[in-house]
Structure formats: C-alpha cells, structure tokens
Amino acid sequence: MIPRSRRVGVVGSMGQLGSDVVQVLSESGRYEVSPLSHNQIDVTDRKNVMRVLTHGRFEAVVNCAAFTRVDECEDRPGEAFQVNALGAHNVASVCAELDALCIYIITDYIFDGVKRTPYMEEDTPRPLSVYGLSKLAGEYFVRNLCPKHFVVRTSGLYGVVGSSGKGGNFVEIMIRLAKERRPIRVVNDQVLTPTYAKDLAQKIKELLQTDAYGLYHITNSGQCSWYDFAGKIFELLGLRPDFGPTTTTEFGAKARRPAYSVLAHHRLRQLGLDDLRPWPEGLYAYLIEKGYLS
C-alpha cells in the first residue's frame, strides 16, 4: 500500500492516460505527484531512468510511456521494442532496486481475438502485431523483475489530451471527419470496450491504496464494435455524417487487430473493487469534459 502523501512519479505524463493519472492523483490529496514527460525521462536509457527515479525518491512509479501507433510499429519494430519492452524493463528493474511499486499499462492487443467471451487475466496471450508483442514483452519484464507491481491491461483508450501521433484519439477523429463532411467507414467486425482514460485513472488510484499486487484487466463495462462506438458518438452529438460499416479486410490496416478483445474484470471483483461505468456513460462524460455537451 502507498501511504498518504508519498511520492508518485508518472512517466509519460503528457499522454492521454498519463495526464489524467497526474490530475486524479493530485486532486485526491493523498500523493505528491511528479509528472515525468519524455523530456524529463528517457525510458530507453537505463542510466537516465536510474538517475531520475533515484532523485525523485518515488515510492511508486506509474509507467504510461508507450509507442502506440499500431500500424507504424509494423514498419518500426526496433523502436516499438525499445520503448514498449526495453523501456518497461528499465523502469521495472530500477523500481525493484529502489523497492518502489511499478505500475505498467498495456493493451488488449496482446490477444488474438479467437474467443467470443471476455478474456480473463489467466488466458494465454497471442499477439497478432508488433505492437501487441512489444507490449506483452514489457508486461513480462515488469511481472518478473519487480515484486511490487500492478500490470493493468486496458482497451480502446481515449482521453481529453489525446494521443500524440494519432491526430487526437478515435473520438476526436470521428468528430473531425463528420464536421468536414467526409465519408466515414468504420470496421464493424472488431469488438472491444472503449475506455475513458479518466475512469481508468480513478481505478489506478484505487489500486494504489492496496497492496494486492499483480495483473488486472480494467476497462469500462460492456462491449461494442468500433462502428457502434462511432455511431454512439454521432448520436450523442446529433451529427449525421455519411457513415457506414466496413470490414477489417476492406479497411486494410497494416497491423492485424483481434476481432474480439473484450476483457473480463475478475481480479478487480476478487479485490472487492467495482467495475468502471458502462462505456456509453464514460463517453458522455468525456464529451462534457471536452465541451461538446453541457
């Protein structure tokens, strides 16, 4: 358990999850939070990681740093593994040396999508992409190197800050295309759970108040296809674009995605923690926070 007013470092603090983790933990009044952007810490450089984390005297480190551009990872596997695997290794090994808690965030894309029921924490990962494989390697490093760890798998993440290199996030892209009156085709054969970053950050805060270390699946509740998700965005905002479904094959993305990657929250329930709210409620809250709705 991380006691009151202890120091927490948030790596990747400028990203869509990292920024919300900083805000949620800071507002709780329980922690002294230090945002660590890429300019302040380079996770691929272990000496730099050691210097920064030692200087910060952190009892816990939330590692949100990641190379998340899924299709680019196929062309740049070295960079993907440098950040997602080696970076996770460096942060976890330094946390272990400092007797600090390490929290690492990974992706539903570690699964192959063959199942048609929600994936449990103990299900065997089978990544289909370089991105998924690099993040899974990072997970294994964290779980094996740092005794005090939380590995959090999540899905379809979107946050107020947006994701660097992606033009915002899925919600913002859909809104922009609709306002530009461009035809929109979204895959209807990939099922997941869109997750509001602020909701995930709140649950990370709850985990920090326990010492029940291990692996957790944390997403908003429910499931939908990307097409259904886009449809709900347009419905809530009263937008009526030229919008229709397509298939994964027709869309032709470079990296393979799982057809089904809904995550079950078994470990959370074992710990006595509630599920996050249903994904449409998370989306509604996001649209209010962004100022699209009042």
146 within some domain: yes
Domain-located, residue 182: no
Question: pTM of the predicted model, to two decimals?
Answer: 0.94
Q: Is residue 241 part of a domain?
A: no
Residue 248 lies in a domain: no
On whether residue 231 sits in a domain, the answer given is no
How do residues 162-171 score in pLDDT, each as one tens digit?
Answer: 655 455 799 9
The single residue of 31, 104, 109, 131 carrying the catalytic annotation is 131
Query: 59 φ, ψ to 5°?
Result: -85, -20
* Amino acid 174: pLDDT: 95
| pLDDT, tens only, 116-158 | 999 999 999 999 999 999 999 999 999 999 999 999 999 999 9
- Does residue 183 belong to any structural domain of this protein? no
Q: How far is the C-alpha of 21 from the C-alpha of 183, rounded, in Å?
A: 35
Strands 195-196 vs 243-246: parallel, antiparallel or unpaired: unpaired
Residue 113, domain extent: 6-163+194-223+261-278
Within a domain: 188: no
> Structural domain tally of the chain?
1
Going through 149-282 in order, the beta strands assigned E by DSSP cover: 149-154, 157-158, 184-187, 191-192, 195-196, 214-217, 224-225, 243-246
Who has greater pLDDT, 5 or 131?
131
Is residue 131 part of the annotated active site? The answer reads yes
Among 49, 43, 131, which Cα is nearest to 88's?
A: 43
**Domain contains 114:** yes
The mean pLDDT of 269-289, rounded to a whole number, is: 95
Which DSSP state fits 119? Answer: B
What pLDDT shows up at residue 162? Answer: 65
CATH number at residue 18: 3.40.50.720
What is the per-residue pLDDT across 68-105, written as a single tens digit (0 to 9) for each?
A: 999 999 999 999 999 999 999 999 999 999 999 999 99
Other CB atoms within 10 Å distance of the CB of residue 255? 17
Q: Can you give the pLDDT at residue 167? A: 54
Q: Encoding tokens for residue 249?
A: 């094959």
